[in-house]
């Protein structure tokens, strides 16, 4: 899932697509989904998905766009590890917990997406 997300995100940025796969919300959703699907792994699943996505994203650029500056891969890798753990855990909690805790677990990724949409996370993103 992560490898596909990384490649499709780059294709989304370089071609005209109708689905915003490169959007931060899509990446948050992928980490949550990983935690939902693999609740025993939770944080690790989220980290794995986002780390694989970041690797595939930059590998795709290196392989298909010679001379294109890579930007900030280390920054995105670190952010992917941190947010992958948080949002993967949120997905795992949402899968296993009772309804009140489930709602709280899903509030974190929804809040992150809302803050991103409002432009309040721009300082963290290169």
- pLDDT tens per residue, range 55-87: 999 999 999 999 999 888 999 999 999 999 999
Q: Which conformational region is residue 61 in: left (phi greater than 0), alpha (psi within -120 to 50 degrees), or beta?
A: alpha
**Total-model pTM:** 0.90
Distance CA 86, CA 90 (A): 6
Instruction: State pLDDT tens for residues 8-28.
Output: 999 999 987 777 788 889 999
The single-letter DSSP state of residue 60 is H
∠ Cα 77 82 83 (to 5°): 95
Give the Cβ contact number of residue 44 at 10 Å: 17
Q: Which residues contact 106 (CB under 8 A, 6 or more apart)?
A: 32, 90, 94
């Amino acid at each position: 899932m992560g490898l596909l997300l990384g490649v499709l995100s780059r294709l989304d940025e370089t071609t005209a697509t109708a689905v915003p796969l490169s959007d931060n919300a899509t990446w948050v959703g992928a980490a949550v989904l990983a935690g939902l699907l693999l609740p025993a792994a939770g944080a690790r699943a989220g980290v794995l998905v986002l780390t694989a996505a970041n690797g595939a994203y930059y590998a795709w650029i290196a392989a298909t766009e010679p001379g294109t500056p890579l930007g900030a891969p280390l920054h995105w890798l670190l952010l992917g590890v941190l947010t992958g753990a948080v949002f993967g855990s949120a997905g795992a909690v949402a899968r296993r917990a009772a309804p009140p805790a489930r709602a709280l677990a899903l509030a974190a990724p929804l809040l992150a997406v809302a803050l991103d949409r409002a432009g309040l996370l721009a300082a963290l993103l290169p």
